[in-house]
């Protein structure tokens, strides 16, 4: 079986977009399995940047099938903007097809209104939400009142569900948050336009994927965010609202778990996170600033500054365990060039003075943990033009080797720059 699943090993922003774009060359089907337009996957081809929030990152390749799975929550306006943008730029390949699962839940205006109201009115501790309505949409999904793509296309069902939901959400908006109410009829008219435009894309994507697998086609499962933003296994409550680990690849697309295949964990050569939450290796100094500026660490979705710090192997090892990662794709290694001494966090010292190699579930305890570092020599040579692992500076190779030793997993790819071609490929996971 030649299927591959891509997930992030940190708090997202690891460079999944570039890796998905690379592996899409060998895949027949590229399927996004969770998250929404809170994700931002960046691809640079011949100096031109493309950012995708909903459409799978393999869309720029011809003769592919790209699928937005049932586990994704879809903002129809954003999806149409992405489709229109690709068409206007003339980069949408003629023979590549895009499908959206009929079971994917739809982000409605009341979702992002509630998202923003909760964060801005200070009910509870701020978690740094993107304000895109992702969490409230997943809430409605679990509460069994959500509107799915198939509902959106059914005029009667959509009107009935919308009316009930707007009535309830307006109660929260007006009574709890003292916000202006929403107009159900205006939303209905707007979303009917979206429904008509999206109708050709909506399909039983589970059937499409399983038929492709029967024919021996290669599937690339694309995750969003990172393992430590997983709703169950992340640094709760500073997490996203879906399961980001590889176990959700099958559930979020409608295929059996035995078909997920190899699992590639994307690992940035240092650590970043956006929003609130504990971050043991965070750097609030000149090195942290250098990582941010050289690595262009600003959110592709929000534009917010990313918090930067040393590579935390404790986080990476937990991700490997949770997702059964079989290979590491190391990204942004070039950003470390010019730093004299590099550090890798190999464990934590707890407030009680004990050494631990696990990530505490309690965010307060994690915030109090002191990182235990191992120091390595840095390098000064430009590595962006290197295409062979043996041609890298000895200290660069030592950094990669030590990461592999600590993680217990070999690298399959090393990214030495933002461009598609700035990559050292060590192993093709589709071949095995």
**Which CATH fold would you assign to the domain 105-198?**
Adenylosuccinate Synthetase, subunit A; domain 2 (1.10.300)
Superfamily holding 4-101+202-264 = Adenylosuccinate Synthetase, subunit A, domain 1 (3.40.440.10)
Contact at 8 Å (CB) between 43 and 17?
A: yes
Q: What is the pLDDT of residue 160?
A: 97
Domain ranges, ordered by start, for the chain: 4-101+202-264, 105-198, 267-425
Residue 211 to residue 197: CA distance in whole angstroms: 26
Superfamily holding 267-425 = Adenylosuccinate Synthetase, subunit A, domain 3 (3.90.170.10)
Positive or negative torsion for Cα 126, 32, 230, 371: negative
Residue 126 to residue 344: CA distance in whole angstroms: 29
Contact at 8 Å (CB) between 130 and 99?
A: no
Q: Interior CA angle at 150 toward 57 and 133, to 5°?
A: 60
Q: Cα Rg for the chain, rounded, in angstroms?
A: 22
Q: What is the pLDDT of residue 420?
A: 86
For residue 76, the surrounding DSSP H or E stretch is: helix 76-89
Query: Over its length of 432 residues, how does the chain's per-residue pLDDT go in tens digits?
Result: 589 999 999 999 999 989 988 999 999 999 999 999 877 777 666 666 777 889 998 898 999 999 999 999 999 999 999 999 888 888 888 899 999 999 999 999 999 999 889 887 765 555 667 778 999 999 999 999 999 999 999 999 999 999 999 999 999 999 999 999 999 999 999 999 999 999 999 999 999 999 999 999 999 999 999 999 999 999 999 999 999 999 999 999 999 998 888 999 999 999 999 988 999 999 999 999 999 999 999 876 667 899 999 999 999 999 999 999 999 999 999 999 999 999 999 999 999 999 999 999 999 999 999 999 999 999 999 999 999 999 999 999 999 999 999 999 999 999 999 888 999 999 999 986
DSSP 339-400: -SEEEEEEEEE-TTS-EESS--SSHHHHHHPEEEEEEEE---S--TT--SGGGS-HHHHHHH
Question: Which has the closest alpha carbon to 366: 412, 398, 318?
Answer: 318
Active-site amino acid positions: 13, 41
Q: What is the pLDDT of residue 299?
A: 74
Residue 130 to residue 98: CA distance in whole angstroms: 26
Residue 54 to residue 64: CA distance in whole angstroms: 16
């Amino acid at each position: 079986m030649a299927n591959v699943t891509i997930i992030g090993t940190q708090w997202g922003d690891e460079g999944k977009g570039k890796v998905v774009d690379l592996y899409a060359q060998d895949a027949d089907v590229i399927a996004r399995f969770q998250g929404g337009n809170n994700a931002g996957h960046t691809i640079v081809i011949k100096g031109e940047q493309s950012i995708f929030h909903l459409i799978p990152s393999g869309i720029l390749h011809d003769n592919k099938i790209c699928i937005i799975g049932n586990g994704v929550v879809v903002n129809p306006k954003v999806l149409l903007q992405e489709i229109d943008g690709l068409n206007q730029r003339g980069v949408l390949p003629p023979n590549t097809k895009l499908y959206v699962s009929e079971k994917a839940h739809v982000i409605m205006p009341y979702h992002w209104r509630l998202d923003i109201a909760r964060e801005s009115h200070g009910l509870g501790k701020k978690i740094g939400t993107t304000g895109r309505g992702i969490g409230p949409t997943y809430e409605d999904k679990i509460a069994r009142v959500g509107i799915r793509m198939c509902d959106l296309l059914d005029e009667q069902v959509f009107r009935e569900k919308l009316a009930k939901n707007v009535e309830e959400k307006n109660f929260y908006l007006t009574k709890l948050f003292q916000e202006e109410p929403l107009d159900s009829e205006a939303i209905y008219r707007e979303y009917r336009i979206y429904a008509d435009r999206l109708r050709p894309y909506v399909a039983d994507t589970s059937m499409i994927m399983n038929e492709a697998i029967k024919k021996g086609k290669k599937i690339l499962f694309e995750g969003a965010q990172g393992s430590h933003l997983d709703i169950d296994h992340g640094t709760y409550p500073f997490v996203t609202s879906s399961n980001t680990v590889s176990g959700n690849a099958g559930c979020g697309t409608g295929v059996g778990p035995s078909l997920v295949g190899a699992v590639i964990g994307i690992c940035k050569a240092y650590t970043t996170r956006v929003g609130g939450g504990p971050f043991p290796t965070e750097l609030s100094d000149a090195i942290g600033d250098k990582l941010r500026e050289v690595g262009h660490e600003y959110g592709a979705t929000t534009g917010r500054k990313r918090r930067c710090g040393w590579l935390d192997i404790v986080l990476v090892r937990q991700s490997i365990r949770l997702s059964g990662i079989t290979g590491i794709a190391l990204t942004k290694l070039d950003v470390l060039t010019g730093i004299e001494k590099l550090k890798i966090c190999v464990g934590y010292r707890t407030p009680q003075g004990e050494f631990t190699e696990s990530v505490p579930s309690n965010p307060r305890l994690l915030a109090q943990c002191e990182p235990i570092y191992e120091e390595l020599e840095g390098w000064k040579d430009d590595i962006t033009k290197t295409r062979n692992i043996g041609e890298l500076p000895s200290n660069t190779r030592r950094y990669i080797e030590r990461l592999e030793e600590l993680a217990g997993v070999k690298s399959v790819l090393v990214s030495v720059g933002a461009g598609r071609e700035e990559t050292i490929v060590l192993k093709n996971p589709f071949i095995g």
